[in-house]
Chains A and B, each alone.
Chain A
Amino acid sequence: MSQRPGFELLVAEHQAMVARICASYERDRDLCRDLSQEVWFAVWRALPAFRAEASLKTFVARIAQFRAISHATQHARRPAGETLSPDLVDQEPQPDHLAIASAERGSLLAAVQRLPLPYRQPVVLMLEDFSPAEIAALLGLSANVVGVRLNRARGLLRALMEAS
């Protein structure tokens, strides 16, 4: 197999982030997996252009965001499910506190999925531990705009999570 050295490692290291970004834009499990594959194929093709001006994580996140938004726009006419696909978030077994934690995670993902696109993008990156400055550079926005969007998004997230 003719793969770039280290690509498998890159996938293993950042697949969780890519999967979460994809899940923020696609509720259907199969489509989410297809999207994830699409993202990694794009990363593989773009990898020769990586110049280490930013981290590999930023590089992967940028491509994942682009593909995910493009996917969301492409499928915008498809009727959106009102609820989160139950099999998207890993279900953990029996003990009550684990079940509650799992439900909280599910409700956070569901809330993120319901955010309008301009808010969802910085929120997803923020939750993936990017700094506001990195988010601004990645999204081509000013730091002020990112700050404003994050602030509004936080309020929306809180309201959505309380409502659910």
Chain B
Amino acid sequence: MNPDDEEEWKAMKKNWQRTSVAEILMTQQLRWGLRLRMLGSWIYLGFEMLSFLLVTVLGVIQLAMGQAGAGSLFIALALVCFGASLWARRSTLRGASSSLPELVDLSLRRARRGVRMAWANYFMTAASAACVLVLYLSDIGDAGAAYHDDARVGVAMILFALFAVGVGVYHAYARRRVRRFLQMREQLNPRGGE
């Protein structure tokens, strides 16, 4: 950098650093908003831990009642959810120490994973609904079994539909994120010229 350039930058830096938008932005409103979000984050974590604990306790109760299958299933579910939560939190932290393009790539990968998860959920919902319908329409088992009961099957179908709508909303969100991060990567690395 030649001395003239340096002088020009120096003058601009001086001017820039006196540009104080801080007083306007650092209002009590901002501080309280931040505190509320932090509190919300801890409450969310608390609920998450409480639900893991609840499912584990349910599993232990089932095991104590001699229901080994259901008990193990509950405990396995709690462990899987706990692991997934830890994994999600860990990947958030891992992203924080990367450079900007790496952060964008990481976010892009996460968004793409979200799209894949949405597709997997559509598939699982459709497969589950198909299983319920096949059981309902077939002669398998006792005619009085839950899967032959009109009301229960109806409720199950409504729940599947609601879940699919929820997945649809998440899918749209994940696709929008993928588009945004692709656009961001494109803007950060314009082709040619350098």
Decide yes or no whether B138 CB sits under 8 A from chain A.
no
Decide yes or no whether A99 CB sits under 8 A from chain B.
no
Decide yes or no whether A90 CB sits under 8 A from chain B.
yes
B-facing residues in A76-90 (Cβ within 8 Å): 76, 87-90
- Bound together, the chains give a CA A121 to CA B5 distance in angstroms of 18
Q: State whether A19 touches B34 (Cβ < 8 A).
A: no
Max chain A Cβ within 10 angstroms of own Cβ: one of B27, B92, B96, B107:
B96
Q: Mark B1-44, 1 if CB is under 8 A from A, else 0.
A: 10001001100110111111111111101100111011101100
Q: State whether B41 touches A45 (Cβ < 8 A).
A: yes
Decide yes or no whether B93 CB sits under 8 A from chain A.
yes
B23 proximity list for chain A (CB < 8 A) = 90
Decide yes or no whether A101 CB sits under 8 A from chain B.
yes
Return A73 CB to nearest CB of chain B, in Å: 5
Q: State whether A40 touches B34 (Cβ < 8 A).
A: yes
Decide yes or no whether A48 CB sits under 8 A from chain B.
yes
Q: State whether A117 touches B16 (Cβ < 8 A).
A: no
Q: State whether B99 touches A138 (Cβ < 8 A).
A: yes
Q: State whether B25 touches A36 (Cβ < 8 A).
A: yes
Q: Mark B75-107, 1 if CB is under 8 A from A, else 0.
A: 000000000000000001111110111111001
B189 proximity list for chain A (CB < 8 A) = 118
Decide yes or no whether A9 CB sits under 8 A from chain B.
no
Q: State whether A69 touches B30 (Cβ < 8 A).
A: no
Q: State whether A127 touches B17 (Cβ < 8 A).
A: yes
Decide yes or no whether B110 CB sits under 8 A from chain A.
no
Decide yes or no whether B120 CB sits under 8 A from chain A.
no
Decide yes or no whether A115 CB sits under 8 A from chain B.
no
Q: State whether B38 touches A65 (Cβ < 8 A).
A: no
Q: State whether A41 touches B94 (Cβ < 8 A).
A: no
B127 proximity list for chain A (CB < 8 A) = none
Query: B97 touches which one: A51, A88, A118 (CB < 8 A)?
Result: A51
Return B192 CB to nearest CB of chain A, in Å: 11
B-facing residues in A114-148 (Cβ within 8 Å): 116-118, 121, 126-129, 132, 137-140, 144-145, 147-148
Decide yes or no whether B180 CB sits under 8 A from chain A.
yes
Q: State whether A154 touches B8 (Cβ < 8 A).
A: yes
- Bound together, the chains give a CA A65 to CA B103 distance in angstroms of 11
Decide yes or no whether B144 CB sits under 8 A from chain A.
no
Q: State whether A140 touches B102 (Cβ < 8 A).
A: yes
Q: State whether A1 touches B12 (Cβ < 8 A).
A: no
Q: Mark B49-71, 1 if CB is under 8 A from A, else 0.
A: 00000000000000000000000
Q: Which 10 A-B pairs have the closest CB atoms?
A: A46-B96, A140-B99, A49-B93, A127-B16, A140-B101, A16-B22, A49-B96, A105-B19, A19-B25, A19-B21
